[in-house]
Amino acid sequence: MEDRVIIFDTTLRDGEQSPGATMNTAEKLRIASKLEELGVDVIEAGFPAASPGDFDAVRQIAQQIQKSTVCGLARAIPDDIRTCAEAVKPAKYPRIHTFVSTSEIHLKYQMKKSQEEVLEIARQAVRLAKSLCDDVEFSAMDASRSDRDFLCRVFEAAIEEGAKTLNIPDTVGYAIPEEFAALVDYVMKNTKNIDKAIVSVHCHNDLGLATSNTLAAIRAGARQAEVAINGIGERAGNTSLEEVVMSLKTRQDLFKVDTRIDTTKIVPISRLVTMITGIQVQPNKAIVGANAFAHESGIHQDGVLKNPMTYEIIRPETIGLHSNKLVLGKHSGKHAIRSYLADMGYRLTDDELQSVFEKFKNLADRKKDIADEDLEAIVNEGVLRSSALFKLEYLHIASGTTVDPMAHVKLLINGRSAEESCKGNGPIDAAYKAIASLTRTSATLMRFSISALTDGTDAQGEVTVRLKEDGLVALGRGSDLDIITASAKAYIDGLNRLEHMKANPVPVQDGV
């Protein structure tokens, strides 16, 4: 293999900027741990200056991660950079990622500054960051719409001040592959001392070309790819980690580069991000979609039975796609559960384990076969979100063809029990009205979707909702064998996230 592409993951920063995808610190730590196991070189843990919560999450990730570089994003503002430096300081391998816009449209309408002023801002930002952290990355926001010669001048200044990585972002997903590859090639040929830095690319998917643009840039010489699990991110999303990694692996004959990614861990982390964010992967999504390895055509089925490579260019096992049922049941002991959870990457306290164990026993009494996804759901709801303001204690539904749907709900609200009964157009509508009355909220239900965590008629139902209140948008997720209970849990989870967002306002975030 000729050389290696550095994988820079921004799931926890740009990915979290997907509408409603806010994660709490425990959830971010869980994903960061899995990113490290995946073999990600750089984890962009957040935007420390955005809020105290984001600062705390980045700092805790920096304290936990030992193998990957932990990076924080900072605008080219001294206070941002100092806050970022403090957040990543505990990391074994810290990085500050600072940025400023360089396109004419941004300079004229957003920043209201000249090229010379922006050049000086970039220089001073990198200089300050370098004085606080040895590893500095500089991004020229909206690079794909910037004047090429000015872009090279800004990058030259960043290199002179000590930046080790130069990022060329297609911030608004405007570029096409040939054009973007030509831009990377131009920068590499016309930037003085470019050999002293690694050229990175960060592409958005507004035209559906993020992966194509990233791969074209790699062929042109870029050696860092900024990506996100499942391609989540602002607007149409970021470049998908799994698509880039598997393209490089599958077509090594063409790219002649490799990554450090353990591809067998791709599907598990994809499912974890889906579970935590509530953002479902479309069935026909490349690599990790439910239909990615499904064959309906008779010709395809015949070919796959004779030789899988006739219609599958990737073996499912390569990305960690396999049936993995728990060899555990209602007679299993707590020690067995602890051991299995440890293998899955969970390190729980005794109290957390007891809570999970009780819920596992309850599920094992009701469900014959238990899968990893079932146990993940128990841990996610019972442990990672245990500090919620609203908790469901009891739900009773009366519904049918001859009665008006009625829901009786009992909630634990900030430690105190309260209950309410309401009628509705259906059982879920009745439950939601009762919950809204108890919590005194007026969130609008913008989206409601149902899926199954596993196969079979006894699979746990997973409900995802999107709620909007006072201009804030939050996703909520709930799972249960009973779909109405799962719906109530999802609604309550969404309300808890909204309350967290109200208590911890986050300013509008710029990003590359």
- One DSSP character per residue, 235-294 reads TT-B-BHHHHHHHHHHTHHHH-EE----GGGHHHHHHHHHHHH--PPPTT-TTTSTTTT-
**Bigger pLDDT: 385 or 405?**
405
59-92 burial, b at 16+ Cβ within 10 Å, e below that, comes to bbbbeebeebbbbbbbbbeeebbbbbbbbbebbe
Token pair in block for residue 138: 């500089």
Domain boundaries, the chain: 3-277, 294-320, 334-384, 390-503
CA distances from residue 422 to 409, 412, 417, 446, 480 in whole angstroms, order as listed: 9, 17, 17, 21, 22
| pLDDT band (50, 70, 90) for residue 168 | very high
**Single pTM value for the model:** 0.81
Token output for 470: 């006072």
- Does 157 score more than 80 pLDDT? yes
pLDDT tens per residue, range 295-310: 444 544 455 455 555 6
CATH (residue range 3-277): 3.20.20.70
- Residue 168's DSSP bridge partners are 201
> What is the mean pLDDT of the segment spanning 408-426?
94
Distances in Å between the alpha carbon of 401 and those of 294, 310, 395, 396, 405? Answer: 38, 51, 20, 17, 9
Q: What is the pLDDT of residue 295?
A: 43
Sign of the torsion formed by the C-alpha atoms of 145, 146, 148 and 151: negative
Mean of the pLDDT values across residues 435-457? 88
What local confidence, expressed as pLDDT, does residue 169 receive?
A: 98
Longest dimension (CA), the chain: 79
Q: Tell me if 438 sits within 8 A of 419, measured CB to CB.
A: yes
- Percent residues over pLDDT 70 in the chain: 88
Span 17-41, pLDDT tens digits: 776 667 888 889 989 999 999 999 9
pLDDT of residue 479: 87
Is the pLDDT at 152 greater than 90? The verdict is yes
The average pLDDT across 213-237 equals 96
CATH of domain 390-503: 3.30.160.270
More confidently predicted of 79 and 363: 79
pLDDT value at 175 more than 90: yes
For residues 32-55, b (16+ Cβ closer than 10 Å) or e, as one string? bbbbbebbbbbbbbbbbbbbebbb
In this model, does residue 490 exceed pLDDT 60? yes
pLDDT given for residue 350 in this prediction: 85
